[in-house]
Chains A and B, each alone.
Chain A
Amino acid sequence: MDVLSHDILIVGGGGAGLRAGIAIAHAYPSLKTAVISKVYPMRSHTVAAEGGCAAVIKDNDNHDLHAFDTIKGSDFLADQDAVEAFVRDASKEVIQIERWGCPWNREEDGHIAVRWFGGMSQKRTLHAADKTGFHLLHALFQTSLKYDNLKRYDEWFVAGLLVDDGKIGGVLALNIRQGTFHILAAKAVILCTGGVGRIYAFTSNAGIKTGDGAALAYREGAPIKDMEFIQFHPSGLLKNGILITEASRGEGGYLFNKDGKRFMEQYAPSKMELAPRDIVSRSIMEEILAGRGLDGPYGSYVHLDLRHLGEAKIMEKLPMVRELCIDFAGMDPVYEPIPIRPTMHYTMGGVHTDKDGKTPLAGLYAAGEGACVSIHGGNRLGSNSLAEILVFGARAGRTAAEYARQAKPCASERLQSLAKEKMDFIQRRYIRTENGTERVGAILSDLRKTMDEKVGIYRREEGLREGIEAIQRLKERFNRIRLTQQSQVFNTELVGAMEMDNMLEVAHVVALGAFNRKESRGGHARKDYPNRDDAQFLHHSLAYQTPDGPRMEKLPVTITKWQPEERKY
């Protein structure tokens, strides 16, 4: 195999990956940098973020407030030094992206406007109508085109990391269009691959969200962290969980049960509909479980009512919500309440990094949803994730660049032999499948059903045990898959199989982490352990791959100035 050499490879072309790429291309023009992405960068799931991006930019706000809101939102599992760095950088990053053309909504005088978001004690969410992720991603992508020294591999899939003696040497990647595998050498690799939403059936996440980065790191011995913390967003559109932004509540929307009661009065009287997502989602589930939900062909739901906002405000601030409702639910929120139910939305966990994006594996970095710094702890506040991809994308980019400047490249012969080993594995596992019987599609749909049922919003010991066993059986079945496409060209079946393998690996860690954490904190709610237990569980969970499944370790939480307290809204 030929070797294509680079200094830094960024895996993933979404917000975090492009931000990292620009950071390096701009400040380190002599480094050979490339972004490798399994889809064209502007297809990345950042594009689907709607509500906004949090940062302190107004005089009535300050960094300590933003930090505390984030930490309280995280149910005190966030690392506070990382959060402090995050809120400081976020204020600069949102201006930076403005200067790169992001069309933030404005005040009449031309300054950037902010809106309310859940769990925030101030209005601090910048937004571009309700297409914030779309505008942010396209601004980043278009700005990235300015740099001749930022190479791209569009529609390439990373099949494995090449690690030599505990140090990154590059990646083995599939050129999807040609169906050929290549060695891409690099001194540093930054994983910006997003979360693992597709392991759930009812999810707001795109088809590409398959946890690739977490699985890549995990297989090479880098730990993944806090995977049991999955965020369920309160407003997933029936029937399939498409996101209706939290901004619809930030702009004044109400939640009603079937009796027409604003039930949030009962659960979060001071914040009402703008409590953090984990709390609102559980409140909706409580209403549904108590029989106060509405019923339809797609199951039980509650109403998100925007009608009192009026058509003009909806068109100005929430045009995409209206578009989505009309196109995907056949109803118009100007005249009807929106049928919603909590939808799997965000992976708080990810590849374990420090606040500069560094992982324990030399030369490996991570940023964005696929990384876990952690600033979100047990529950992420809405609009902190777009800020996160900017802040930590840039930080990881700079850290990786400093490392790559002094690191030595891996010897070419060594890369060849590492790649050959991986290639043999790939041939055996995914390509030579004539004797197999299992369809990948069936395994995927069984996994998604298992995760929805056993590792959903509410978790119980019994269900989790069943879930873990089911995942182990699915892993068994995966050993016997059969692929039908013979042609190499644009073989999405092969890509799908490798993604499926990644999802199984990560789902196992999600379920086991949830099983081990015998408390309720943030997005992890155990019916059998309904309270937070700081004495035993104020720690992160690290998962390491072993032949017998994940090995879990504990990692203390960094606390600077905010001691854990009861979390009430």
Chain B
Amino acid sequence: MNTPNTSPSPEVTRTYRRPIPNTWWLKQRSTILFMIREWSSVFVALYAICLLGQLWALSEGADRYNALLARSLSGGSLVLHLVIGAFVLYHMVTWFKISGRIFGSGPLSPGAVTAINYVVWIAASIGIFYWIF
């Protein structure tokens, strides 16, 4: 770009750029938490795949769906779901916090925005629970 600050001399002093190791994110708590959040999106995607699988089974009829449900109750599957659930929960909590930082300004404090997120989440969960049962 056209910068008025270009050095007029052709020779430019040799600068040194420090290499960044692949483990850069292990040095600080904030970046470790960040990397966990990044990885948690993989589990969000897994959850979405599970849901799509269930929908597909449902469209294939009650037998297919019940078979899938039965398989889901196996020990391995339960553990997998617990792990996925934990990551998705972590993902959600961090985004609720971030949305507070983004939208919280003026009279609406960041904490208030995050709180609203939780209220909506709990209300939606209760609503779905009643709708189903």
Q: Which residues of A contact B (CB under 8 A)?
A: 2, 4, 145, 147-148, 150-154, 175, 177-178, 180, 182, 489
Chain A residues whose C-beta falls within 8 Å of the C-beta of B11 in the assembled complex: 178, 180
A-B contact pairs, 28 of them (CB 8 A): A2-B9, A4-B8, A145-B4, A147-B4, A148-B2, A148-B4, A150-B4, A151-B4, A151-B5, A152-B4, A152-B5, A153-B5, A153-B8, A154-B5, A175-B7, A175-B9, A177-B7, A177-B13, A178-B7, A178-B9, A178-B11, A178-B12, A178-B13, A180-B9, A180-B11, A182-B8, A182-B9, A489-B13
Q: Which residue of A lies closest to B2 (CB)?
A: A148
Chain B residues whose C-beta falls within 8 Å of the C-beta of A151 in the assembled complex: 4-5
Measured between alpha carbons, how far is A154 from B3 in the docked complex, in Å?
Answer: 12
Chain A residues whose C-beta falls within 8 Å of the C-beta of B12 in the assembled complex: 178
Measured between alpha carbons, how far is A145 from B3 in the docked complex, in Å?
Answer: 9
Measured between alpha carbons, how far is A182 from B11 in the docked complex, in Å?
Answer: 13
Chain B residues whose C-beta falls within 8 Å of the C-beta of A175 in the assembled complex: 7, 9
Q: Which residue of B lies closest to A180 (CB)?
A: B9
Measured between alpha carbons, how far is A526 from B84 in the docked complex, in Å?
Answer: 81
Chain B residues whose C-beta falls within 8 Å of the C-beta of A2 in the assembled complex: 9
Measured between alpha carbons, how far is A218 from B5 in the docked complex, in Å?
Answer: 29
Measured between alpha carbons, how far is A152 from B13 in the docked complex, in Å?
Answer: 18
* B window 4-41: CB within 8 A of A: 4-5, 7-9, 11-13
Measured between alpha carbons, how far is A180 from B8 in the docked complex, in Å?
Answer: 11
Least Cβ–Cβ distance between A566 and chain B, in angstroms = 52
Least Cβ–Cβ distance between B11 and chain A, in angstroms = 7
Q: Which residue of B lies closest to A490 (CB)?
A: B13
Least Cβ–Cβ distance between A222 and chain B, in angstroms = 27
Given contacts A148-B4, A151-B4, A177-B13, 5 further A-B contacts (CB under 8 A): A2-B9, A147-B4, A178-B7, A178-B9, A178-B11
Measured between alpha carbons, how far is A151 from B3 in the docked complex, in Å?
Answer: 8
Least Cβ–Cβ distance between A184 and chain B, in angstroms = 9
Chain B residues whose C-beta falls within 8 Å of the C-beta of A150 in the assembled complex: 4
Measured between alpha carbons, how far is A150 from B4 in the docked complex, in Å?
Answer: 7
Chain B residues whose C-beta falls within 8 Å of the C-beta of A180 in the assembled complex: 9, 11
Measured between alpha carbons, how far is A80 from B95 in the docked complex, in Å?
Answer: 64
Chain A residues whose C-beta falls within 8 Å of the C-beta of B7 in the assembled complex: 175, 177-178
Least Cβ–Cβ distance between A259 and chain B, in angstroms = 45
10 closest cross-chain pairs (CB), A and B: A151-B4, A152-B5, A152-B4, A489-B13, A4-B8, A178-B13, A154-B5, A177-B13, A150-B4, A148-B2
Q: Which residue of B lies closest to A179 (CB)?
A: B13
Q: Which residue of A lies closest to B14 (CB)?
A: A489
Measured between alpha carbons, how far is A147 from B3 in the docked complex, in Å?
Answer: 10
Q: Which residue of A lies closest to B10 (CB)?
A: A2
Chain B residues whose C-beta falls within 8 Å of the C-beta of A177 in the assembled complex: 7, 13
Q: Which residue of A lies closest to B6 (CB)?
A: A151
Measured between alpha carbons, how far is A220 from B130 in the docked complex, in Å?
Answer: 90
Least Cβ–Cβ distance between A112 and chain B, in angstroms = 23
Least Cβ–Cβ distance between A335 and chain B, in angstroms = 25
Chain A residues whose C-beta falls within 8 Å of the C-beta of B8 in the assembled complex: 4, 153, 182
Least Cβ–Cβ distance between B15 and chain A, in angstroms = 10
Q: Which residue of B lies closest to A151 (CB)?
A: B4
Chain A residues whose C-beta falls within 8 Å of the C-beta of B9 in the assembled complex: 2, 175, 178, 180, 182
Least Cβ–Cβ distance between A67 and chain B, in angstroms = 38
Least Cβ–Cβ distance between B106 and chain A, in angstroms = 16
Chain B residues whose C-beta falls within 8 Å of the C-beta of A154 in the assembled complex: 5
Least Cβ–Cβ distance between A457 and chain B, in angstroms = 42
Measured between alpha carbons, how far is A180 from B12 in the docked complex, in Å?
Answer: 11
Measured between alpha carbons, how far is A436 from B4 in the docked complex, in Å?
Answer: 40
Measured between alpha carbons, how far is A64 from B7 in the docked complex, in Å?
Answer: 47
Measured between alpha carbons, how far is A151 from B4 in the docked complex, in Å?
Answer: 5
Measured between alpha carbons, how far is A280 from B5 in the docked complex, in Å?
Answer: 44
Least Cβ–Cβ distance between B3 and chain A, in angstroms = 9
Measured between alpha carbons, how far is A147 from B8 in the docked complex, in Å?
Answer: 18
Chain A residues whose C-beta falls within 8 Å of the C-beta of B13 in the assembled complex: 177-178, 489
Measured between alpha carbons, how far is A382 from B2 in the docked complex, in Å?
Answer: 40
Chain A residues whose C-beta falls within 8 Å of the C-beta of B4 in the assembled complex: 145, 147-148, 150-152
Least Cβ–Cβ distance between B21 and chain A, in angstroms = 27
Least Cβ–Cβ distance between B95 and chain A, in angstroms = 32
Measured between alpha carbons, how far is A175 from B13 in the docked complex, in Å?
Answer: 11
Q: Which residue of A lies closest to B3 (CB)?
A: A152
* B window 47-80: CB within 8 A of A: none
Chain A residues whose C-beta falls within 8 Å of the C-beta of B2 in the assembled complex: 148
Measured between alpha carbons, how far is A142 from B19 in the docked complex, in Å?
Answer: 33
Measured between alpha carbons, how far is A152 from B12 in the docked complex, in Å?
Answer: 17
Measured between alpha carbons, how far is A180 from B2 in the docked complex, in Å?
Answer: 24
Measured between alpha carbons, how far is A2 from B2 in the docked complex, in Å?
Answer: 23
Q: Which residue of B lies closest to A156 (CB)?
A: B7
Chain B residues whose C-beta falls within 8 Å of the C-beta of A4 in the assembled complex: 8
Least Cβ–Cβ distance between B42 and chain A, in angstroms = 42
Chain B residues whose C-beta falls within 8 Å of the C-beta of A489 in the assembled complex: 13
